[in-house]
Amino acid sequence: MSEKEKAVDVEKLLKNKLKAVSIGQLENAISKAVSDIVGEDYKCTIGEVKYTLFSGADFHVKVELSYNPNE
């Protein structure tokens, strides 16, 4: 079998590793990425998580500027 003809690992596709990732971890990572890009402190909230077949997930992401009155 050539490189182009590699068999699809169905077992790997069906084992959705995203289910093991906490929503809090995703929110923190997205918040950090946006804050680093924009240069201001942003927060992220994730809602309506639906895990899909073939190792995916659909979810609503809300990113907004964090308001800190002490700054």
pTM assigned to the model: 0.71
SS3 assignment, position 47 = strand
Number of neighbours of residue 44 by Cβ within 10 angstroms = 19
Q: Which tens digit of pLDDT belongs to each residue from 7-51? A: 777 777 677 888 888 999 999 999 999 999 999 999 999 998 999
Extract the tokens encoding 42.
């942003």
Integer distance in angstroms from the first to the last C-alpha of the chain? 61
The predicted pLDDT at position 5 comes to 61
| Mean of pLDDT values over 52-65 | 90
Extract the tokens encoding 62.
């809300």
Q: Which residues contact 13 (CB under 8 A, 6 or more apart)?
A: 54, 55
